[in-house]
Amino acid sequence: MKMNTLYSAVLLCCMPVTGTFAAAMDRSGQSISAFLQPNNYFEAGISILDPTVEGRDAGTSETTRHIEDMGNDYYFASAAIKLQLTDQISFGLLYDQPFGADVEYNGSNVFVTDTNTTILPTATMNTLRTAKIASSTPLGIAAFAQQAGIPLATAQVMYNNNIATPLGKTKDLIDAAVAKQVDAGIAQVNGLIGQGSTKAEVDSHNLAMIFGFQPNKNFNLYAGGVYQTIEGNLSLRGQATSVYNGYDATLKETSGVGWLAGAAFQIPEIALKASVTYRSKIDHDIETIEKLPTLPALALLGDNVAAAATQIATASGDTKISTPQSVNLDLQSGIMKDTVAFANIRWVNWKDFELRPVKFGMVSKVVGQLPTINRPDGFNLLQYSKDQWNATIGVGRKLNDQWSGNVSAGWDSGAGNPVTALGPTEGYWNLGVGLQFSPAPNYFIAGGVKYFWLGDAKGQVASQNAGNEYVADFSDNHAIAYGLKIGYKF
């Protein structure tokens, strides 16, 4: 296979929508392919995703309402430059946006606050109301005795026998007064819940600086440092979020550093290339602003619980997260003249990822003591139960001196099911096509489109993490991704 044919074959395999919609918050796929191009090379690209993720209230939810499309469109950019400094030393800068999220619930469902939303589920509220009335009745009798100017014992006898008075029967009067007071307190607490809908947005940026060593034409050993920034915003609303309804978290932009290392083997004469790349996890301490107006609602859960609210209200601190480590395996080989087959396999360690801001975590330890939750150590705002596996296979072919194209199929395992309602899909299958136009041998414009069949999933709230309970069911969803990339060899 001639080298100019190889160039086209290799480049067209780098489809501009490689990652786009993967498990958890994985987006770009963190490809290393630009660094492995021959000689000096530059590229820049943009990918756009249009998802449709709908479902219904289900599981522990008291309703079965339709959940409108909660997946917002989003885009992310990438760029890379690779320089062959000497016959044996290469250098590269790779920029991408590896992790992200952009979701927002709308309509009428358990993730949107409306006029029927209460701080706790209706059944729980009714149970708590009954218990609160029972515990408040002695105080009601005492208040009646004081108001009537009679001994407490006399008021108790009048209550027990429902003695009539000019204003009505004693027990009926006291019970009505106690209920009115309890209902007023509950209404006050319900008035604290947040208005609007559950939504989340996460953005990240990666810049990798890589040095490569090529002892001969077949091997390439490379390693480098990675600088990463991440930031996000989150709002929890709706019946499903319970005492967290009204919770807002702003995770201010912060940075961290990591590293990558890998090796590649190639036989240019037959367009054979294989590479494996490891990326380390990157730790972040994120300054976080948390707002939780429903803290007074903890009083509904007991006096000992209410005492913790003051301490939680004044708490602050950074949120510690680690973006996950990953491994990419890329394979390519010529299978006939002007034709290559390729495969990409990616593993991402989402199982060890967790997000627990300070105030959120303190409330979770309080709420987790309840028998209905049974998580005495608390729970995370966000976590995943499984690691992600992703695979793509395809064929690329040079059509003539200016045009080449490819077709591909992909699969993603997802990161567990049930899974967080902030990303309620269990992996996908996809099909993609791409075209590359090369007006001259040293530069090209490539475009591609992929259609995703998103896996059905059951959506959980944070208190259900690592369990089988869920509050929503999402099925028959899809997404379309578009990509555009330009490349220049010099």
Q: Do 364 and 475 belong together in one domain?
A: yes
Rounded Cα distance, 300 and 127, in Å: 11
Whether 261 is in a domain gets the answer: yes
Rounded Cα distance, 251 and 318, in Å: 9
Rounded Cα distance, 257 and 77, in Å: 20
Which of 19-23, 138-142, 205-209, 442-446 shows the highest mean pLDDT? 205-209
pLDDT tens-digit series, residues 272-325:
999 999 999 999 999 999 999 998 888 777 666 667 788 898 888 999 999 999
Where a domain ends, among 161, 191, 221?
Answer: 191
Rounded Cα distance, 424 and 24, in Å: 9
In 3D space, the residue among 287, 283, 389, 399 whose CA is nearest the CA of residue 346 turns out to be: 389
Q: Do 167 and 70 belong together in one domain?
A: no
Tell me what the pLDDT averaged over the chain comes to.
Answer: 91
Where a domain ends, among 142, 166, 191?
Answer: 191
DSSP string, 390-451: EEEEEEEEE-SSSEEEEEEEEEE--S-SSEETTS----EEEEEEEEEEEEETTEEEEEEEEE
Q: Do 228 and 370 belong together in one domain?
A: yes
Q: Do 180 and 232 belong together in one domain?
A: no
In 3D space, the residue among 83, 110, 108, 107 whose CA is nearest the CA of residue 94 turns out to be: 83
Rounded Cα distance, 37 and 82, in Å: 8
Residue 9: pLDDT over 50: no
Whether 19 is in a domain gets the answer: yes
pLDDT tens-digit series, residues 25-68:
999 999 999 999 999 999 999 999 999 999 999 999 999 999 99
Q: How confident is the model at residue 488 (pLDDT cuts 50, 70, 90)?
A: very high
Query: pTM of the full predicted structure?
Result: 0.90
H helical segments located in 215-265? none
Q: Do 413 and 360 belong together in one domain?
A: yes
Number of H helices, E strands in the chain: 7, 26
240 DSSP assignment = G
Whether 114 is in a domain gets the answer: no
Is 428 in contact with 454 (CB distance < 8 Å)? Answer: yes
Is 446 in contact with 431 (CB distance < 8 Å)? Answer: no
pLDDT tens-digit series, residues 126-152:
888 888 889 889 999 999 999 889 999
What pLDDT does 16 receive?
Answer: 53
Rounded Cα distance, 490 and 488, in Å: 7
